[in-house]
Amino acid sequence: MTKYSHILIAEDELRIRRSLKFILENAGYHVSSAMNGADALQTILSEKVAENPVEMLVLDLDMPTMDGIELLEELEQRQIDMPVLIITGYADRMPINELMASGQCRDFMVKPVNPDELLQYVCRLFAAQHQDVTLVPK
């Protein structure tokens, strides 16, 4: 049975969140979205026991309520491991470099996001994870 990967987008900007969701859904991925880290954590926890748990997190760092770094810390405390792709609009990459060095983040992209590059990053992260999923669904 072929299984399509479940990707969660945590992004506070509605336009960007919708755009990322559109790109990934059109590529055949199952996509959920959250407008902040707290909502993302709730989705990850509720879907953890579901038939299609979240398998990748596409994450903005600067969000209200719970930011991306706080979400990553919470996931680490709960021992929830999944590929994380950070999407940022900031030129300061120091937090990202630290997250990558610690293993909390596997890669990052700078906004605005190119659709083809996004799909390449997602496929590369899933391939690195060695999961039994369809890497390029369509």
pTM attached to this predicted model = 0.86
- According to DSSP, residue 50 is labeled S
The architecture in CATH of the region 6-129 reads: 3-Layer(aba) Sandwich (3.40)
Q: Would you put residue 128 in left (φ > 0), alpha (ψ -120 to 50) or beta?
A: alpha
Looking at 1-138, list the stretches that DSSP marks H as alpha helix, in order from N- to C-terminal side: 14-26, 37-47, 68-77, 94-102, 115-129
Using the predicted structure, report yes or no on whether residue 2 has a pLDDT greater than 70. no
Q: Would you put residue 67 in left (φ > 0), alpha (ψ -120 to 50) or beta?
A: beta
Collect all residues with Cβ–Cβ distance below 8 Å to 28 and sequence separation of at least 6.
4, 134, 137, 138
d(CA 46, CA 107): 25
**Stretch 6-30: mean pLDDT, rounded?**
96
The per-residue pLDDT for range 64-89, each reduced to its tens digit, is 999 999 999 999 999 999 999 999 88
The per-residue pLDDT for range 85-118, each reduced to its tens digit, is 999 887 566 677 787 777 777 788 888 999 999 9
